[in-house]
Amino acid sequence: MNREQKIILWAAVVVIVLMALCPPYYSKGGPSTQYLFVWPMPISAIRFDRLFLQWLCTIVVASGLMYAFKGKKSKSTGSCRKHPQAGEGKVLNRYQKAVLLVGIAVIVLMAFFPPWASSYRWTRDTPTVRCFAGYASIFSPPPPWPPPAKNVSTRVDIFFRMLIPQWFLVAVITGSIVLRLEGKKQAYLSPPNPANSKG
């Protein structure tokens, strides 16, 4: 790994640890979420759906940036290589990097505005019914349906059965375009060879 990749990796590790120390909790007043320190709070109150979503977004963004910075200029050599050495893998050109960053941005936007599902149960003996509640910001979930009542237990969660296929579709489209643009002209140029300039 080069210097930029190491910085991205350590930054992602720090962010994931901070998210684990201050995870999201269910709010007693409704579907909203509050972030509290993990030590005095019960683990059962943690919103693991949102926590895993935050972790996954961090991993996706860090992985994409590390891959985009592959083949970056190395201070030890002081030069940019047009062709990677053996074992380094292929270097992305500027078109591939642009597509990769756009794909990451779309995945992150989907994470910030995910689909939600409302679960409700009339009594303890009846099965839980789950229905699509629309798209909303992760910081402002939609209200539960039906509205909370005396004998009705309602809950709003992220609809991962819809979100994961969306991510998969974006990842497949992004990967296909990146592979399609593999033959484009490289953005990295090697320094001129004096031997070729003679004559």
Question: In degrees to the nearest 10, what's the CA dihedral of 64, 65, 67, 72?
Answer: 170
Phi, psi of 63 (to 5 degrees): -65, -45
List pLDDT tens digits, range 159-182.
Answer: 888 998 999 999 999 999 988 888
The answer, yes or no, to whether residue 186 has pLDDT greater than 60, is no
| Distance, CA of 7 to chain centre | 18
pTM: 0.63
List pLDDT tens digits, range 37-79.
Answer: 887 777 777 888 888 888 888 888 888 888 878 766 555 445 4
List pLDDT tens digits, range 30-46.
Answer: 555 677 888 777 777 78
114 C-beta neighbours (distance < 10 Å), count: 24
Segments making up each domain of the chain, as ranges: 3-114+161-189
Residue 7: pLDDT band (50, 70, 90) is very high
